[in-house]
Amino acid sequence: MIQDRAALLRALGRSFSDPELLTLALTHRSAGGRNNERLEFLGDALINACVAEALYHRHPDLEEGDLSRLRASLVNQETLAELGREMDLGSYLILGPGELKSGGFRRASILADAIEGVVGAVFLDAGFDATRQVILRMLESRLAAPLSTDELKDPKTRLQEVLQARELPLPVYAVESVRGEPHKQTFRVSCSIEPLKIRTEGEAGSRRAAEQEAARNALEKIANG
């Protein structure tokens, strides 16, 4: 499954002085031994900082709250996973047998973590300016076409407003399962809207994020009738 990384390097717009850093960034913990978790920690902070800086300069008219919501719409598991799919990142991941068998190379949480890991690797390999360039390169189209003020509202808020407008009760969220070690858990949460006979699920690295995903799926069902 692991393939030549030339296309990945082209997508990033750079090469690595230390290719082992990229290898580490693409190594999931299921493979055993050293993995990308520490690089994820670093990459997460760098992505947030660089996107915050870009939004600050590009949107001088926005208040802090809108800037925060706009950043959250760009820096989240769903968006990072989309970036991973666009770069075919799953083809480069180093996974253990269990994750390979279960299709872990397609899982949003694994793809998002790998994007963070790659960003962390770029920083250690080439420094902050190079890292900013990579981050802005990956997110440029999304930065150039920001969401509207209404779209910036998180899915749970939007779902609540839709139901209130229809004079329906609020959705009920429930944790269906929690997997993984305490420091790296995956939550699966359901969202039920009984009057509409709608039940959706979301999965993410925190209960709140999983609830947001479940609410987003519920909004799609409502929109599609």
Catalytic-residue membership of 44: yes
- Packing angle of the helix pair 128-144, 108-126 (nearest 10 deg): 140
Q: DSSP E strands: which ranges in 125-185?
A: 172-179
Which pair of structure tokens corresponds to residue 136? 């802005």
* DSSP codes, 40-62: HHHHHHHHHHHHHHHHHHH-TT-
Catalytic residue, from 40, 44, 125, 213: name it.
44
Catalytic-residue membership of 116: yes
- What CA–CA distance (Å, rounded) separates 96 from 185? 18
Q: Which residue has the tokens 């290719």?
A: 19
Which pair of structure tokens corresponds to residue 138? 């990956």
Sheet holding 172-179, edge to edge: 172-179, 186-193, 198-204
- What CA–CA distance (Å, rounded) separates 65 from 198? 31
Catalytic residue, from 99, 113, 116, 211: name it.
116
Residues assigned a catalytic role: 44, 116
